[in-house]
Structure 1
């Protein structure tokens, strides 16, 4: 019997996940189909009940449902529980179990540019769900210093205080982060700044960025945001969000099938969807 997978969100038409996962099912000779499903906030509970009723094998969760889906699931993986957000659901013998592969996907993708975080000083910009997942995972990976900044400083403080892993960490407002930017080996941009239609937006000024640092943006469309353009002009290395997107998808695929897929193939599929 053909297995059914999906991604739920609002909006959802822009998602690259169906092309990526359907290609993986074909390449691995798995009889399955992955479908985007437009689910509005007010319909989430009914949608989850329906997906469970039809025996969906698994699904991804994107904005705005990553947090609100939690009470609708049967179980949570400990990391997803500590993060407070779910992006991957597995149906195990009729139980819907929630996972979060955003942070681990980010760190797996980061290893192509930075093999270890043990002696690194890291700054996370932003305090949304992706920032929270990345912050927790990097804290667990043992960064020497892991700081976080946000326009609303209380949101950044909440992430620091909720983190279950021991790590040296300070919380800054944007101005203070700009002044101390030269201290960091890795700067991670997790806000929507740079996405259409506000492609010229910057989350903060990069005038103190040190040459040789790695500037990482979790946005992959456009492939080079203004944040990355300016970082490159300062002599920094850059990485866009394509690796995070690919690896979080690969980890979800592995949870569903037991197979860790070809990430180079996944990357090429997404690039082809983006027009090269």
Structure 2
């Protein structure tokens, strides 16, 4: 396998998760191949090409350099998989397999629905073909300058499925969204091909509206498995696709800890770091490092609004990362904007501890405060943010183990729609 070239061909690939996906499928030779347009002909003439995936912006450009193109890929108008066989380059589009897998996993039904597709690049062509194959009633393609554009969305207010095929919302521009879903009052499902972050601003809005939705990671994994089958002329069981998807979900998502000051977030975070090998990031510690002063000093000299602004910046910066344990200050829920920052890549756990067991030393808002009243005031906010509540009146090790069990089970579940639509309910774990 190492004697031939396998990899993802594109122009800028720093955000890609393709290498770990193919490695999990046993292809250790797979790598990222960044080329400029002028380099494509020379590279694709190499006799040692084994198999390539093609991504933005080359899904259409490489077609003229291929010898044999699968009819379905030719109909779509773009390819994403190339294999050299008997000296010839054969091309397919496995993205359509991935797209339909993503929709099916999210229980987003395209049949007899009006599908509104954002963007007109190679992935848009795939989404259009998939929607036709699934029996969509009508397909509208929204572009920046065409007759159907973002200024004329009202023409398609009856859209029932919204699909984003643009890079809008992709890391590092996490807070951007291509459209406001309230423009589509009949919307019944949302698909976003972006997979970093896990939940784009578009998907966070879909969750808030209680709509079934999915990011693009299931599509990425499913198309990669279909490509692996073509690379090596083998069959891959669907269970293997789900295994690799769960593995990537677990690796990418953050564990976020919230709760009252003194409820044990730092101690549990340290126990989780020891248990999982993940880096634990304490947002308060990061604020202190950046401000070069203690939190009580920030409150005394600059006031609570200044501290909350620093906290918001820290939540935005670290919430955009992947695979971390994020330990939040007790008041982070007071700013609703922090929810999106933490939820975009994270599963959020609220820790509970008896009020009488909460320490107050070094905590500006806890000293001399009525903690019971503070807890009553903040509980609805914690409830709004959290995915799961967990009792931390026992040992930190037991709490960490309970969180990790839930986190792994959630990754395995492949749930793509909101766990509690509109965030009205919550789960509770007892350590």
* TM-score bucket of the superposed structures, by smaller chain: 0.7 to 0.9
Task: Confirm or deny: 8 A CA contact 1:124 1:147 kept in the other structure.
Answer: yes
Counterpart for residue 44 of structure 1:
40
Task: Confirm or deny: 8 A CA contact 1:19 1:269 kept in the other structure.
Answer: no
Taking the TM superposition and a 5 Å limit, the aligned residue runs for 1:1-276 are 2=2, 4=4, 5-25=6-26, 33-50=29-46, 53-54=47-48, 56-114=49-107, 116-153=109-146, 172-178=148-154, 180-181=156-157, 183-210=158-185, 213-257=188-232, 258-261=234-237, 262-271=240-249, 272=251, 274-275=322-323
Change (3 A) 1:14 1:118: closer
Change (3 A) 1:207 1:13: closer
Distance 1:90 1:41 in 2: 20
Task: Confirm or deny: 8 A CA contact 2:15 2:196 kept in the other structure.
Answer: no
Distance 2:229 2:107 in 1: 23
TM-score (structure 2 length as normaliser) = 0.54
TM-score (structure 1 length as normaliser) = 0.82
Change (3 A) 1:142 1:248: same
Task: Confirm or deny: 8 A CA contact 1:211 1:234 kept in the other structure.
Answer: no
Change (3 A) 1:179 1:67: closer
Provide the aligned length of Structure 1 versus Structure 2: 250
Deviation at 1:222, TM superposition (A): 0.5
Distance 2:108 2:59 in 1: 29
Distance 1:23 1:233 in 2: 33
**Secondary structure, counterpart of 2:26 in structure 1:** helix
Distance 1:219 1:17 in 2: 13
Distance 2:110 2:182 in 1: 24
Distance 2:113 2:45 in 1: 44
Q: Which has the larger radius of gyration?
A: 2
Q: Which moved more, 1:196-205 or 1:207-216?
A: 207-216
Change (3 A) 1:251 1:100: same
Q: Which moved more, 1:145-154 or 1:119-128?
A: 145-154
Distance 2:168 2:90 in 1: 32
Distance 1:3 1:25 in 2: 15
Change (3 A) 1:232 1:13: closer
Which protein has the bigger helix share?
A: 2
> Which structure 1 residue ranges, 4+ long, deviate > 6 Å from structure 2?
none
Distance 1:135 1:63 in 2: 17
Distance 1:129 1:204 in 2: 20
Deviation at 1:12, TM superposition (A): 2.5
Structure 2 gaps, min length 5: 253-321, 325-431
Counterpart for residue 161 of structure 1:
none
Task: Confirm or deny: 8 A CA contact 2:101 2:222 kept in the other structure.
Answer: yes
Structure 1 gaps, min length 5: 27-31, 155-171
Higher relative contact order (CA 8 A, sep 6+): 1
CA shift digits 1:114-139 (9 cap, x unpaired): 37532222111111111111102211
Change (3 A) 1:173 1:106: same
Change (3 A) 1:197 1:33: closer
Distance 2:140 2:187 in 1: 19
Task: Confirm or deny: 8 A CA contact 1:210 1:234 kept in the other structure.
Answer: no
